[in-house]
Amino acid sequence: MDWLKHLLWHNDKFLGADWSVWAVMGWLGNAAFSSRFFVQWYATEKKGQVVIPVIFWWLSLIGSLLLLGYALVQGKDAIFIFAYAFAWIPYIRNLVIHYRHLSEQKNCSQCQAVSPRSANYCAHCGTKLG
């Protein structure tokens, strides 16, 4: 177990890092942004076709904003700042499109099928939609 302690602690610091609020913010941003890969992979495998779930866009937005904040305050590297300065725009746009699409649908009370907002009857079971 001494090897584990040596692996985790360097210069009397956990992972050899200075753990300021900004460092934690940077690590959380990196974790959120990186976890998108596993979320998308799982959703695609589960459905058997390429799927990008809404949580992917939330993780993208949160991760990129945390990393932008870290880059602005701690990194102060123009390349790092520019990499995240505008990345949040398509993430927000995709979230707006997603939630707008949800608000434009009706769910059938009988079979839970999704119909367009303009539909009067469920295409799946024929129930009158409210």
Q: Per residue of the chain (130 residues), what is the pLDDT tens digit?
A: 676 766 676 666 766 667 778 888 888 888 998 999 999 999 999 999 998 999 999 999 999 999 999 999 887 888 889 988 999 999 999 999 999 988 888 887 888 888 877 787 888 888 888 7
Q: What is the pTM of this model?
A: 0.69
Per-residue pLDDT, 11: 66
Domain membership of residue 94 (yes or no) is no
Interatomic CA distance for residues 127 and 115, integer angstroms: 11
Domain membership of residue 128 (yes or no) is no
Please give the torsion angle defined by the CA atoms of residues 20, 22, 28 and 33, in that order, rounded to the nearest 10 degrees.
-150
Q: Structurally, how many domains does the chain consist of? A: 1
Domain membership of residue 29 (yes or no) is yes
Domain ranges, residue 16: 2-86
The pLDDT tens digits for 2-40 are 767 666 766 667 666 677 788 888 888 889 989 999 999
